[in-house]
Amino acid sequence: MSNVITYGTFDLFHYGHLEMLRRAKALGSHLTVAVSTDAFTEKDKGKSCECPYAERTAIVAAIRYVDTVIPETCWEQKVSDIKTHNIDVFVIGDDWTGKFDELKRVCEVVYLPRTTDISTSGIKQSLFQGGRTITNTRA
């Protein structure tokens, strides 16, 4: 039995997010997900969210792979979260490769490959710059 943690903004939740959570959960028995707060996302990440924190948290909490959701309020909280939640494995997308290697002193660090051809940034760019239209084809 091992405890896994991952972090993210999870704005405009999409298939890539779902795959990340599924693959993270496959690495252990309990998955904790830290969702970036609006203030942290805007101030420290330099991004704005289309969906407010409460909605993003509700979506992530509803995913069957997720056992616990906590707020991410700053970059520095990771070691504390790992200790508080008895984490064995820290998981993040491979676009962050090497950025969290210092956590290897407190747990295993895994950089998972991103799901190809999908990202929140890409979706926003497509939607707001007149790109392809996303439609629901189900009746």
Once rounded to an integer, what is the mean pLDDT over residues 4-29?
A: 94
Please state, in angstroms and rounded to a whole number, the distance separating the CA atoms of residues 72 and 51. 16
**Residue 69 dihedral angles phi and psi, to the nearest 5°:** -120, 130
Catalytic option among 25, 43, 47, 99: 47
Active site residue 47: yes
Q: What rounded mean pLDDT belongs to the chain?
A: 87
pLDDT tier at 127, thresholds 50, 70, 90: low
Structural domains for the chain: 3-114 (3.40.50.620)
Once rounded to an integer, what is the mean pLDDT over residues 66-75?
A: 97
pLDDT tier at 45, thresholds 50, 70, 90: confident
SS3 14: coil
pLDDT tier at 139, thresholds 50, 70, 90: very low
pLDDT at 123 over 60: no
Give residue 55's pLDDT.
96
The kind and range of the H/E element at 70 are strand 68-72
pLDDT at 134 over 80: no
135/83: higher pLDDT: 83
Please state, in angstroms and rounded to a whole number, the distance separating the CA atoms of residues 114 and 102. 21
47/9: higher pLDDT: 9
Active site residue 78: no
Catalytic option among 43, 45, 83, 104: 45
Once rounded to an integer, what is the mean pLDDT over residues 104-113?
A: 97
Q: pTM for this structure?
A: 0.82
